[in-house]
Amino acid sequence: MKESKRSKLYRRAGITALVVAGMTLAAGAGAYAATKMTLIVNGKPSSAVPVSIKNVTYVPLRAAAEMLGANVNYDAASNSVTIAGKPQQSPLGDGGKEAVASVNGVAITKNQLYDAMLDLGGVQTLDNLIQDELVSQEAKKLGIVVTDQDVEAEIAAIKKRFPSEADFQAALQQSGMTLDDLKKQTPTQLRIRRIIEPRAKVTDEEVKQYFEANHEEFDQPEQVRASHILVSTKAEADDVMKQLKAGADFGKLAKERSEDTGSKAAGGDLGYFGKGEMVPEFENAAFSLKVGELGGPIKSEYGYHIIKVIDHKAAEKATLEEKKAEIRERLIQNKVSALSGSWLAELKAKAKIANTLQGK
């Protein structure tokens, strides 16, 4: 008789498993004195009672096997016992058999979709959900509440780290995220920060040292804010310039005529930029114009540009006093990031977590 791996109950020297449908002792066994014992299956006491007779221990296999998730069936005709694992139930229940799509009449079920999603990152997604729940429980325990206003304020603070909205959106795209993705992640990040921040002490000396080591990062270089209208030919550029000199609205004309898809929706506004960020022909013209002045047509590798300067910022040296709060916040965030990994691991170790996908 072949037993499945899952339901096998082992036999050692002096121990024989009793395998009969009624789970009674073998014929004639009642003539012997029986010593009752306790059966432990998977760490849990079984209601079934094994007995020892003349140094042979008889284990009621059906009860033990069923505790291990197997079915035991005795066939009197063939005098054989069948042990089979119970069929695995879909986490979606009967609804898992419902079709979510079909191909030439062949259904693709919810169960198939569920399994495919597990294979495509379900384990990591579940781990993230477990982590979010752990953090949420810990925050609740400490009385930490994160509101929608907190999330919006954090998103606004993140945006301020970028020169323009376009740069912020580009960074999101490079990270494979959308603004909605960032908003969904932010509450957990804020909870972690507020829990760990008391441990992330930053001294005035650390702030000073960071400023001195990175002062160039905080200095403001000379910058220009400009708008442009990009067209393919010199004739088109001359026509645009003619309309602007006649009083046409620059932003409206940019939306109508500009071929730069990245800026036309914003009326051609490119935001602030420093030297070395644009092609030389464009940069030289922009930095030489006065605020409000039109320039062009300027030819570059992209076509012909009509430029209007909106603002001009002179270079400025940053001071420690101006940047102290910003640097302190940055150092606190760095320390929170450094501490969060070990803190989360400690939190997981203390929690009772049941993860059915673990090891898959």
Same domain, 325 and 287: no
Same domain, 21 and 56: yes
Q: Residue 53's domain spans which residues?
A: 15-85
pLDDT band at 62 (very low <50, low <70, confident <90, very high): low
Judged against a pLDDT cut of 50, whether residue 313 lies above it is answered with: yes
Same domain, 263 and 208: no
Task: Yes or no: say if 285 and 298 are a contact pair by the CB < 8 Å rule.
Answer: yes
**Residue at 4 is within a domain:** no
Of 85, 104, 119, the residue at which a domain comes to its end is 85
**Residue at 267 is within a domain:** yes
**Residue at 26 is within a domain:** yes
Measured distance CA(217)–CA(317) in Å, rounded: 10
pLDDT of residue 171: 87
Same domain, 293 and 253: yes
Same domain, 225 and 308: yes
In 3D, which of 144, 190, 167 has the Cα closest to residue 340?
Answer: 190
Q: Residue 112: CB partners within 8 Å, gap ≥ 6?
A: none
Same domain, 346 and 302: no
Q: pTM of this prediction?
A: 0.54
Same domain, 242 and 163: no
Number of domains, the chain: 4
Same domain, 281 and 210: no
Higher-scoring residue by pLDDT: 359, 124: 124
**Residue at 192 is within a domain:** yes
Q: What average pLDDT does the structure give for the chain? A: 82
Report the share of the chain in percent with pLDDT over 90: 48
Same domain, 186 and 236: no
**Residue at 224 is within a domain:** yes
Same domain, 193 and 229: no
Task: Yes or no: say if 80 and 97 are a contact pair by the CB < 8 Å rule.
Answer: no
Tell me the pLDDT tens digit for each residue of 176-211: 889 999 999 999 999 999 999 998 999 999 999 999
Same domain, 167 and 227: no
Same domain, 183 and 245: no
Tell me the pLDDT tens digit for each residue of 153-169: 999 989 988 877 878 88
Task: Yes or no: say if 185 and 275 are a contact pair by the CB < 8 Å rule.
Answer: no
pLDDT of residue 267: 92
**Residue at 107 is within a domain:** no
